[in-house]
Amino acid sequence: NQALLDAIANSWLKANVNSPEAALKQISDFEKQKASGQKRRQGSAKGPRQEKLPDWAQEGYQPEKKKVSDADREKLAAQLAKLRELGDKGGAN
């Protein structure tokens, strides 16, 4: 494979490999580095991610009960009446 040969030749040029002994040393160093790199990656694996459910999705959730003031109740009743009136007209203005 030409690409592999080019990659090896370029790495040997960068490492100033000019003899067969230096080439063998470079190959053994590469193999050691490759083996140690694989061990490191395997050790850093994390477990599956645990997602936290929101409060409203929990089993047995009870929403807070809030007191509605009379003014707010009147506003909501007026808005509801207006919506019902528009619904009776078919939504036309």
Q: What's the structural domain count of the chain?
A: 1
pLDDT tens, residue by residue, 16-57 = 888 989 999 988 988 888 887 665 555 556 778 888 999 889
Q: What's the pTM value of the predicted model, to 2 decimals?
A: 0.36
CA atoms within 13 A on the CB side of 34: 6
The chain-wide mean pLDDT, for the chain, equals 84
pLDDT at 89 over 80: no
| Residue 79 falls inside a structural domain | no
| Residue 87 falls inside a structural domain | no
Q: What is the pLDDT of residue 32?
A: 87
27-31, 61-65, 72-76, 83-87, range with greatest mean pLDDT: 72-76
| Residue 13 falls inside a structural domain | yes
Q: Where are the alpha helices (DSSP H) in the chain?
A: 2-14, 20-43, 70-89
Taking residues 57-78, report their average pLDDT.
91
Residue 34 domain boundaries: 2-42
| Residue 30 falls inside a structural domain | yes
Taking residues 72-85, report their average pLDDT.
94
